[in-house]
Structure 1
Amino acid sequence: MKMMLKAAALAFAPIAGFAVMAAPAAAQTKLGVGVADLEQAMVKSTAFSNAMTAMQTTYKSQIDAFNARKTTLDNELQTKATAIQTAQKAPGANETALRPQIEAFQKRRGEIQEELTKLGRPIALAQAYVEEQISAKISDALKSAMTKRKVDLVLQPGATVSYQPAVDITEAVTAELNTLVPSAQIVPPAGWQPGQQKQQPAAAPSR
């Protein structure tokens, strides 16, 4: 069972006395442990929030088209599923007789998923582009938050059994992201694909 380390600090009170010279302070060792949900830190950032709001306007036609088509296709699938359920409850129903209907339903469901994926691709790419711009600075934001909060080790919430709210530095990471990435673009360059920014070689230093 994974156990979360708990930070402990030992305080030394000054000792009053008549000694001519004060004794040197005892050495202290402290391990500061924090918890951070990096995904939530990114989602709560100003850049991400503003980008998602801007997308509602910039990609309104695509979003409306996607939602309308999804509603139609969801209703179609629900009608087919209800028909199958009714047939299964009918007297004399058997699996062999219903298999073609079930297989047709599964095939149509796959076609619908493929259609919706293609229809929603521009929206998904725009969001992925926003996320990549922000996540590129998540490591720097985490390091800065750790330094300011005097944290030496950070765990994901899922890696802990229990922890006090005071050790959660997620909001501190978000604050650092807001400084490092105040805004994000929502329209990716032509031909852009997720992960390209990480794969691009570093630019040669200017002379």
Structure 2
Amino acid sequence: MKTLLKSAALASSLALVTVAAQPALAQDKNGGTIVQGLGIANFDAVLANSNAYKTAEQQRETTYKAQYDQAKQRSEALNAQLKPMIDKFNADRQAANPNQTALQQQAAQIQQLQENGKQEIQRILAPVGLSQAYVNEQIEDKLDAAVKSAMAKKKISILLSPDAILAVNGSAYNLNQDILNELNTAIPSAQLVPPSGWEPRQIREARAQQAAAQGQAAPSTAAQPTGR
């Protein structure tokens, strides 16, 4: 009997220890259980709502006004040039016996003109695109530290993206604002105009990979025996 009582007491003690070791599960306002240490964040939304990003968007309209105006004028001129061509194409296509060869030629001319105009407008707005990439890269460089700081302050050990979640009841796990606060502190504003010759990270990395591949290929090429 004493042995049974001791075993029962030991089992009870172990059960109490196990329960005490479990983390406390909080309840959200909707009555659901909140899992401690878990968070959700949308980095794209955080970046787009940062002070540095929004300020740069406003400044860019003034700094690159000439490019915006030129692109708008070219687009309007292109549309004016295309309209009679498109109207004629549509009218000819609705004829009783449309000339398919002529229609194909008209369509090809319209398509070529549209493509050339698109490329021209892209060249005009290229400085704007570089500015956007430059600002984004400056903010992204501070994002990792901002995320880690927000996670540490909120005691988050696992951070998920919204794409990995099917549904969430309430906003108890949302870490966007906490990360945004850290990011705004780390980078209140960004430099708008990139230095001369600057290239986006993707291009720099592609060049580095290409150079590395060429560097690896050079020794093997040099090691080839010379035939007679």
Give the match for residue 116 of structure 2. Answer: 111
Task: For residues 23-72 of structure 1, give each alpha carbon's deviation from its aligned partner in whole angstroms, at most 9, with x where no partner exists.
Answer: 76711255533222211111110011111111122222222222222232
Q: Relative CO higher for 1 or 2, CA cutoff 8 Å, sep ≥ 6? A: 1
State the secondary structure of the residue aligned to 2:39: strand
Aligned residue runs from structure 1 range 13-24, under 5 A? none
Q: Quick one: distance in 1 between partners of 2:143 and 2:124?
A: 30
Runs of at least 5 residues in structure 2 that lack an aligned partner in the other structure: 1-15, 24-34, 209-228
Letter in 2 for 1:103: A
Give the match for residue 164 of structure 2. Answer: 159
Looking at secondary structure, tell me which structure has more helix per residue.
2
Aligned pairs, number: 178
Q: Normalization by structure 2: what TM-score?
A: 0.69
Q: 1:147 aligns with which of 147, 152, 156?
A: 152
CA separation of 1:164/1:144 partners in 2, compared to 1, >3 Å: closer, same or farther? farther
Give the match for residue 47 of structure 1. Answer: 52
User: How well do the aligned residues superpose, as a CA RMSD in angstroms?
Assistant: 2.5
Q: Deviation of residue 147 (structure 1)?
A: 2.3
Q: Deviation of residue 86 (structure 1)?
A: 2.5
Q: Quick one: distance in 2 between partners of 1:78 and 1:157?
A: 44
CA separation of 1:127/1:28 partners in 2, compared to 1, >3 Å: closer, same or farther? same
% identity of equivalent residues: 34
Q: 1:27 aligns with which of 7, 21, 26?
A: 21
Give the match for residue 189 of structure 1. Answer: 195
Task: For residues 69-93 of structure 1, give each alpha carbon's deviation from its aligned partner in whole angstroms, at most 9, with x where no partner exists.
Answer: 2232244344433332232222212
Q: Normalization by structure 1: what TM-score?
A: 0.75
Q: Quick one: distance in 1 between partners of 2:204 and 2:182?
A: 21
Q: Quick one: distance in 2 between partners of 1:116 and 1:91?
A: 38
Q: 2:75 aligns with which of 70, 73, 81?
A: 70
State the secondary structure of the residue aligned to 1:186: coil
State the secondary structure of the residue aligned to 1:183: coil
State the secondary structure of the residue aligned to 1:84: helix
Q: Quick one: distance in 2 between partners of 1:63 and 1:153?
A: 43
Q: Which runs of 4+ in 1 moved over 4 A?
A: 196-199
Q: Quick one: distance in 2 between partners of 1:157 and 1:86?
A: 49
State the secondary structure of the residue aligned to 2:130: helix
The higher radius of gyration belongs to 2
Q: 1:180 aligns with which of 165, 169, 186?
A: 186
State the secondary structure of the residue aligned to 1:26: helix
Q: Quick one: distance in 2 between partners of 1:78 and 1:34?
A: 53
Runs of at least 5 residues in structure 1 that lack an aligned partner in the other structure: 1-22, 202-207
State the secondary structure of the residue aligned to 2:21: coil
The more displaced of 88-97 and 183-192 is 88-97
Q: Quick one: distance in 2 between partners of 1:142 and 1:149?
A: 11
CA separation of 1:107/1:198 partners in 2, compared to 1, >3 Å: closer, same or farther? closer
